[in-house]
Structure 1
Amino acid sequence: MGPGLRTGLPGGLRTGLRWKLSAAIALVGALVAIALSLVVHNAARVSMLDNARDLADERIQIAQRDLADVQIAEHTFDLSNRANFANVKIDDPHLPDELRAKVEAGRRATYVADPPGGSPDIWAAVPIADGHVLSLHTGLTERSTDILNDLDQALVIGSIAVVLGGSALGVLIGGQLSGRLRKAAAAANRVAKGEPDVRVREAIGGVVRDETDDLARAVDAMADALQQRLEAERRVTADIAHELRTPVTGLLTAAELLPPGRPTELVLDRAKAMRTLVEDVLEVARLDGASERAELQDIMLGEFVARRVAAKDPGIAVHVVHESEVTTDPRRLERVLFNLLANAARHGRPPVEVIVEGRVIRVRDHGPGFPEDLLAEGPSRFRTGSQDRAGHGHGLGLTIAAGQARVLGARLTFRNVRPPGAPARIPAEGAVAVLWLPEHAPTNTGSHPMLPLSGDQ
């Protein structure tokens, strides 16, 4: 199988729009060129045959008039050495039957015999005295044949030029249209990734207006409508969480005033859980609003992670493979790290390990792994990291971690650990969350970090 073939895809082979358009124009051009060539060739050939028949008819009439001056013995005709009687015979045995029938009816006539693959034969005949037939047998002249061959050659060259020109035109037009569509797709992907200021219509540019502009305007309108709806949902969520903040705080304060005992502990535990949920929902709403900005500092990543993890849980091992200095927001980085550790502790199994290598932080546990829908779609609010949803939590931890990573300009990925070459049905041996910090600090923050010169570390 060639490298250009791809199997197992619903759409089959994928071909660029420019090549499809070029092939269509080339095919139409080839069909038109062939049709016109056949029409022109046949018209020229018919015209030449008509001229040859007219010439043969004139010559047979001249021969008929000059026959009176020829010495004709009884039933014996000698027309040799006569200039006006070249190719003229009387009672030619090769005379076509169709022409003979017309002449025997007393008519002067011409006839063209066109054998397959051969040169056409031009016949002209006229009745003479005593029931004899005077006939002329010729063919197309060499000049006519040369003219017809030159015409065929010109038609072939013209047809090839039309096909090549149509293909080039198709590539040009298709390339422009394909380029506009690719720009539109790239802009739509940026909108899908959460860049609200991108406009597809502005991205495709161009002076000429076509259906691509209509598509771009429709995508922009759809993106605006979705953005408005998401913003409205975010505001509602934030407003509800904000309104719940005060009564939950009052509930927690009142619970702390209850007399000691098991019921008081249960009330306090649920009140604290509700306060944590409200705070997490507010944080998710702020992250969804894309208004958060990082406060950048220069830190040694390995030392920072080891110190924070030791303060959080001394039992978690931290391995610094390669130390690196990064410019990031320590508070948000700590939030991401703690949420990943909490998710590993809640849904995985010990031991939990943290590995720092350059700008990459890996958090691994030895549990059943992440759910397949999380691996395919990423974190989603109120969807926990447990396969059977038996664990505690509301599914906001990884959502907050992913949102804080976006603010840092980092990339957060998730995967399960399986033996090398093992199929997907084999149970995972653990889950790994990987945080990739950027080489340079994010530039859309409130601060403006000084980037290191080339070669500096």
Structure 2
Amino acid sequence: MKPFGKRIRRRRALRTGVRWKIAVAIAAVGALVAVTLSLVVHNAARVSMLDNARDVQMWRLVFAQRVYETSKPKEPRFGTKINDPALPPQLDQLMRDGRRGTYVQEHRSGPPDVWAAVPLANGDVLSLHVPFADRSATIMNDLDRALIIGSVSVVFGGCALGVLIGGQLSRRLRKAAAAAGRVAQGNTEVRVRDAIGGVVRDETDELARAVDALTDALGERIEAERRVTADIAHELRTPVTGLLTAAELLPPGRPTELVRDRAQAMRTLVEDVLEVARLDSASERAELQEIALGEFVERRVRALDPDAVVHVVHESWVNTDPRRLERILGNLLANAAKHGKGGKGGAGGTGGPVEVTVEGRVVRVRDHGPGFPEALLKEGPSRFRTGSSDRAGQGHGLGLTIATGQARVLGARLTFRNAAPEGTPDGAGGAIAVLWLPEHAPTTTGSFPILRLAD
């Protein structure tokens, strides 16, 4: 049975550039104008030449009439005829009315015939007809050829002009899109108007000014929210510390443990919020030291999670901030331990331990849990959003946010992916967080790390 409801059909979009759209539009308009003018010029020239041929034919006939009327015996001369049976009906009607005239008789093939006829005093009709001059036909052919060449030249010239104009517009739009992309990545100091440049002002500049105004407004709003968050967290630090100190004075017991646990959780949350606010302010600076990355990661992981498995595939020396790197590792390990070992793949289950792999300047942290939520993979970590209940049903969503912010301070990149698609058996998938330290950092070998996908 077919499901009830409307079926949504997605239309395939034909992707083209502004440059070619403008070029095609100008070429089409040029072709239309060229064809129209060519037809007008062709018809006007043909009519003018036919009118001239009719005047010449009438002049010749009048001359032949004078010669006919003054000669004895009267005989038609110069190709004229008396009462020609082939006289067109239109001229025959004029002759009955006692009027002289000319007529162009068209044929399906070949040039037309030009007729001229005059009525005589005795009621006869003197007529003359000759085919349209070959020279005139040659002139018309040459004119048509020139019109075709001109029309083709206009179309190609318009197309080239459209490509030139459209290329400039397309280039400005691409620069604006690239600048807007950098703004979307968090670089609010970029100005789209400065990026597109140019002397001529058009609608692209209006778009750039609108994007810049939007960026400024969003930046002010984000900065205001950051300050409010930092102020609230800072004001909460003192009472939370006092609450935690007071909890230590309570008598032993289950209620006391609950109070201490919640007070400690609140203190951790306040510290995390303050750290996020500092990272958002872009005022954090890394204190770089040269360290052996594999040895450092192995030592810190052993201290943070003794059950984790560490593989150093390729050792490298890098310039980085050890304190911030340790913070990133701690948050990634805590997230992996919480979601990779908890639940179905929890400690004592079949999920397996957390795996940490070091290859050159790349550090991978993998668990064997249900994997990252789809929203996190598409949009990245977001504060106070923990995702679905199977992956992140508890916590505040600040751990990965802080890790991403600290990686940004180090000039590194933190990416997230799942080891296997959804629907695989428990323990067969898992989440993988990959930390890419800056490539310009010096190494003992001077080589780049070999990157392999986790099994």
Q: TM-score, normalised by structure 1?
A: 0.90
Change (3 A) 1:139 1:320: same
Give the match for residue 372 of structure 2.
370
Q: Distance in 2 between matches of 1:453 and 1:356?
A: 15
Give the match for residue 407 of structure 1.
409
Change (3 A) 1:386 1:330: farther
Q: Distance in 2 between matches of 1:184 and 1:417?
A: 36
AA matched with 1:409? G
Question: Are 1:186 and 2:181 an aligned pair?
Answer: no
Q: Deviation per CA, 1:206-235, whole angstroms, max 9, x where unpaired?
A: 011111111100000000000000000000
> Runs of at least 4 residues of structure 1 off by over 3 A?
8-11, 69-72, 385-392, 424-428, 451-457
Within 5 A, what are the aligned runs for 1:38-437? 38-72=39-73, 79=76, 85-349=77-341, 350-384=352-386, 387-388=389-390, 391-418=393-420, 424-426=422-424, 429-437=429-437
Q: CA deviation at 1:93?
A: 1.3
SS in 1 for 2:312: strand
Q: Which stretch shows the higher mean deviation, 342-351 or 221-230?
A: 342-351
AA matched with 1:379? P
Contact 1:370 1:386 in 2 (8 A): no
Q: CA deviation at 1:321?
A: 0.8
Give the match for residue 5 of structure 1.
none
SS in 1 for 2:358: strand
Change (3 A) 1:117 1:173: farther
AA matched with 2:126? L
SS in 2 for 1:136: strand
AA matched with 2:36? A
Q: Distance in 2 between matches of 1:297 and 1:339?
A: 21
Q: Distance in 1 between matches of 2:401 and 2:414?
A: 11
Q: Distance in 2 between matches of 1:453 and 1:99?
A: 107
AA matched with 1:138? V
Contact 1:23 1:170 in 2 (8 A): yes
Change (3 A) 1:412 1:456: closer
Contact 1:252 1:272 in 2 (8 A): yes
Q: Distance in 2 between matches of 1:318 and 1:300?
A: 15
The percent of aligned pairs where both chains have the same amino acid is 72
Give the match for residue 4 of structure 1.
none
Q: Distance in 1 between matches of 2:443 and 2:392?
A: 48
Q: Distance in 1 between matches of 2:306 and 2:447?
A: 34
AA matched with 1:435? L
Aligned CA-pair RMSD = 2.0
SS in 1 for 2:103: strand
Equivalent pairs counted in the alignment come to: 428
Contact 1:90 1:134 in 2 (8 A): yes
Change (3 A) 1:286 1:9: farther
Change (3 A) 1:205 1:45: same
Question: Are 1:18 and 2:49 an aligned pair?
Answer: no
> What are structure 1's unaligned runs of at least 5 residues?
1-7, 80-84, 442-450
Q: Distance in 1 between matches of 2:155 and 2:55?
A: 38
SS in 1 for 2:175: helix
Q: CA deviation at 1:143?
A: 2.2
Q: CA deviation at 1:148?
A: 1.4
Q: Distance in 1 between matches of 2:396 and 2:235?
A: 20
Contact 2:240 2:267 in 1 (8 A): yes
Question: Are 1:28 and 2:22 an aligned pair?
Answer: no
AA matched with 1:332? R
Q: Distance in 1 between matches of 2:397 and 2:443?
A: 38
SS in 1 for 2:363: strand
Q: Distance in 2 between matches of 1:409 and 1:93?
A: 102
AA matched with 1:416? N
Change (3 A) 1:332 1:377: same
> What are structure 2's unaligned runs of at least 5 residues?
1-8, 342-351, 449-455
Q: Distance in 2 between matches of 1:9 and 1:359?
A: 43
Q: Deviation per CA, 1:172-226, whole angstroms, max 9, x where unpaired?
A: 1000011011100000000110001100000000011111111100000000000
Change (3 A) 1:11 1:293: farther
Give the match for residue 440 of structure 2.
440
Q: TM-score, normalised by structure 2?
A: 0.90
Q: Distance in 1 between matches of 2:445 and 2:164?
A: 42
Contact 2:103 2:114 in 1 (8 A): yes
Q: Deviation per CA, 1:281-300, whole angstroms, max 9, x where unpaired?
A: 00011111111111111111
Q: Distance in 1 between matches of 2:156 and 2:49?
A: 31
Q: Distance in 2 between matches of 1:376 and 1:95?
A: 88
Q: Which stretch shows the higher mean deviation, 371-380 or 61-70?
A: 61-70
Change (3 A) 1:367 1:389: closer
Q: Distance in 1 between matches of 2:313 and 2:92?
A: 108
Q: Distance in 2 between matches of 1:335 and 1:173?
A: 52
Q: Distance in 2 between matches of 1:365 and 1:157?
A: 72
Q: Which stretch shows the higher mean deviation, 406-415 or 239-248?
A: 406-415
Q: CA deviation at 1:117?
A: 4.4
AA matched with 1:361? V
AA matched with 2:402? I
Contact 1:359 1:438 in 2 (8 A): yes
Contact 1:25 1:170 in 2 (8 A): yes
Q: Distance in 2 between matches of 1:429 and 1:453?
A: 35
Change (3 A) 1:453 1:359: closer
